[in-house]
Every structure is written in structure tokens, then in C-alpha cells.
Amino acid sequence: MSARRDRGSELRALRLEAARWVLRLEAPESDRRGRCDGVSREEAFLVWLEKSPAHVRAFLESYETDRRVRAAARAVWRAHNKNGLRAGGRSRSGD
């Protein structure tokens, strides 16, 4: 059971790291966190990605999740705007 728990912890840590890469790569170029140990953000990402196929899978899963969440958020935003609602749930007429 301990080995299974350890594997689960490793997988969660890898997924978290992959999600952080998704966010880091989408950050503006001027973001100070863009450089890692003197190499560019993209170079550091490629080094991380090449460590194992598990890194590639975790990144692709995180990227796809991010894409789907953003698409759902846009759909909700459009639906609210279409129904005459502004941010905060108030109608445009001030109700």
C-alpha cells in the first residue's frame, strides 16, 4: 500500500509541476520569473519536458484541462452577456 501511496504522491507532484509550466509559458515575456537558472523559460521547459514521457503526458493533460476550462469560462461569459448581465450578476438596466 505504501508504494501505491508514494506513486500517487509522485503523480500529483508531477501534475502540479506540469500545471505550473502551463501557467509559466502563458505568462507575459516581461514576467521576471521567465528565466530559470540563467536559461530562458522555454529552454528550461524543454529540459523538464525531456526528462521522461511522464512529463510530456502530464503537460499535455494540464494544457488540455487549461484549454477546456478557458473555453467553458468564455461560454459562461458569453451567456451572461447575451442575457444582459454584467460582472457581479446585475442586469444592465440596474435591477
- Is the Cβ–Cβ distance between 54 and 12 less than 8 Å? no
- Residue 53: is its pLDDT beyond 80? yes
Torsion, Cα 51 14 33 37, to 10 degrees, reads: -40
Query: For residues 1 and 32, what is the distance between their CA atoms, to the nearest angstrom?
Result: 42
| Average of per-residue pLDDT values in the chain | 83
At 6 the pLDDT is: 83
pLDDT confidence bin for 54, thresholds 50/70/90? very high
- Is the Cβ–Cβ distance between 4 and 24 less than 8 Å? no
The structural domains of the chain, with segments of one domain joined by +, span 2-82
Measured CA distances, 58 to 15, 20, 27, 51, 90 (Å): 5, 11, 19, 12, 39
pTM for the full predicted model: 0.69
- Is the Cβ–Cβ distance between 38 and 85 less than 8 Å? no
